[in-house]
Amino acid sequence: MSGARRRAALALGTAALALLAGLALPGCRPRQSAEPGTAPAAAEPAAGGEESVPPPGRGAPVVSIRVVFDVGAVDDPAGKEGLAALTAALVAGGGSRDEGYFALQERLYPIGGTIRGWADQETTTFVAEAPAEHATGLYAVLRSRLVTPRFDAADFERVRSAQVAALATTLRGADDEQLARRVLELLIFEHHRYAHLPEGTVRGLAASSPDDARRFWRERYRAGNARFGVAGAYPPELPEAIRADLATLPPGAPEREPLLPASPAGLPEVVIVEKPSPAAAIALGFPVAVHRGHPDFAALLVAMSWLGEHRTPYGRLYRELREARGLNYGDYAYAEHFVESPGTRFSAPGHPRSQQYASVWIRPVAPANAAFALRAALAELDRAIADGIPREEFERQREYLRQSLTLWRQTPDQHLGRELDDHFYGTPDGLARLDARLAALTPETLQAALVRHLRADRWKAVVVAQDAELLRQQLISGLPTPVAPADGAGPGTGDIPEADRRYASWPLGLVRASVFVVPAEALFETAVAPWRARP
């Protein structure tokens, strides 16, 4: 017994990560294989009893299993927008051939297991997590849902009603920050196959049926477009079991029309989402022809991180808007599509996209300061492109990012999710590659990349605000919009008055026809952008 415990301890002591891309099956489309980031584990079988208990003084006592299919919202049939997401949610949160939904939940309950599934634009991800000693029980439930899903009509109704509510009440009505950011995606990709959110549209969901979901699963969840990985202190036989189970899915990979690049942003446009709200939430951005696999990604990453790394106080926007002026709670910038990993500064893995956009998130400001905050962000973006980043600040920002890379994979699941995303981008060992590219950057090559990919006079923005007409007038008038006293704050320090004048009069290039007002209730109804609809 004690020998078994010791062996388990040794095995668990190595950071455990197995990553398997594609399935070695006859008829499968071969995929590039991964360089695993760390040695795979060979823990003792979790046969119950003390062997399965991670010993003291070791790493994370948890397990994460991820299965990814190359299928997403771009595969939604016209008129059934949201079907990929519905199918993912139904597989992850429904019954299996042998057991109903609630019975499976009862099996996950005592082991503290969770299974999540979602579709993004191009991929669908399933994540199962539990304490390591329950890995086998966790996988049994995941397996039954993935390989033998039930597509029960009542499960379908439950899942669809939650998905409709997420769009029609939560997003429209209960989270203005996310509302601005999500509508920005629609505005940027208006004429692209990303033109609807992965969650779908209210009518597209209403038009979908359990049979649609079953057909979508059968046709598109295939052995040849699947990859999976396991991380944490998992039993050694688990990867092979997953591989064998996924091999029972139909072989090959479904056809998909290649995605065209998104059009570059044209003249500036603003959508004002009108709804009762005590504050104005703002998001702005533009498409960029750069994703993680592109040589210029490192340059964009440093630049946007310097402008405002998510939830950190180090960025220029944060210092100017929040610290010096008290305008809001935070101001951040992103080099790629960014889904928050709650409570951290890191992006949640599982949302890789071949078409990308850069963006700035301005957290809610007092309505009187909405125009000022938008102008300030654009002025800072313009300065970064035109002048680059001062050498000392460049060095600091680059060092910060290079030092941060280990933190990007702190938990087994983050580590695994990042590596699976790397496969999507065709850059196995992506963090090491990124580190090398960061090391090779100079302020000059960085600025050249910014000039190649960014323009501060070609952008789209979304503002969620109560008095839309007043804001529209401010945006198109061309008159300065000085900062309103920041809610009782006294004067700040430094050269604020001069900078304030520059911000307040920053040219927006907007005319009446480029500022649209839509009521929140009109959003997400169909795949047609409501701001183009003629009254």
Q: Which residue, 194 or 346, is less far from another protein as judged by CB?
A: 346
Q: What are phi and psi of 334, to 5 degrees?
A: -135, 140
Q: Within a 10 A sphere around the Cβ of 506, how many other Cβ atoms?
A: 21
Shortest reach from residue 276's CB to another protein, in Å: 4
Shortest reach from residue 227's CB to another protein, in Å: 22
Q: Which residue, 129 or 199, is less far from another protein as judged by CB?
A: 129
| Residue 344 buriedness (CB in 10 A; 0-12 / 13-18 / 19+) | middle
Q: How far is the C-alpha of 164 from the C-alpha of 166, rounded, in Å?
A: 5
Shortest reach from residue 332's CB to another protein, in Å: 13
Q: Which residue, 493 or 534, is less far from another protein as judged by CB?
A: 493
Residue 334: strand pairing partners: 359
Q: How far is the C-alpha of 205 from the C-alpha of 161, rounded, in Å?
A: 9
Shortest reach from residue 167's CB to another protein, in Å: 10
Q: Which residue, 190 or 340, is less far from another protein as judged by CB?
A: 340
Are the CB atoms for 152 and 209 separated by under 8 Å? Answer: no
**497 contacts: CB under 8 Å, gap ≥ 6:** none
Instruction: Pick left, alpha or beta for residue 69 (phi over 0 → left; psi -120 to 50 → alpha; otherwise beta).
Output: beta
Amino acid (1-letter code) at residue 115 = I
Are the CB atoms for 475 and 507 separated by under 8 Å? Answer: no
Q: How far is the C-alpha of 125 from the C-alpha of 116, rounded, in Å?
A: 8
By DSSP bridging, strand 269-274 and strand 515-519 are parallel
Q: Which residue, 14 or 354, is less far from another protein as judged by CB?
A: 14
Q: Which residue, 102 or 258, is less far from another protein as judged by CB?
A: 102
Q: What are phi and psi of 81, to 5 degrees?
A: -65, 130
By DSSP bridging, strand 460-465 and strand 269-274 are parallel
Shortest reach from residue 380's CB to another protein, in Å: 18
Q: Which residue, 26 or 403, is less far from another protein as judged by CB?
A: 403
Q: How far is the C-alpha of 284 from the C-alpha of 308, rounded, in Å?
A: 13
| Residue 343 buriedness (CB in 10 A; 0-12 / 13-18 / 19+) | exposed
The first and second tokens of residue 208, run together, are 């979908």
Report how far Cα 139 is from the mean position of its chain's Cα atoms. Answer: 25
Shortest reach from residue 487's CB to another protein, in Å: 5
Q: Which residue, 28 or 366, is less far from another protein as judged by CB?
A: 366
Considering all CA atoms of the chain, what is the largest pairwise distance in Å, rounded to the nearest integer? 79
Q: How far is the C-alpha of 160 from the C-alpha of 426, rounded, in Å?
A: 34
Are the CB atoms for 201 and 81 separated by under 8 Å? Answer: yes
Shortest reach from residue 393's CB to another protein, in Å: 10
Shortest reach from residue 310's CB to another protein, in Å: 11
Shortest reach from residue 340's CB to another protein, in Å: 13
Shortest reach from residue 6's CB to another protein, in Å: 11
Q: What are phi and psi of 464, to 5 degrees?
A: -95, 120
Q: Which residue, 102 or 387, is less far from another protein as judged by CB?
A: 102
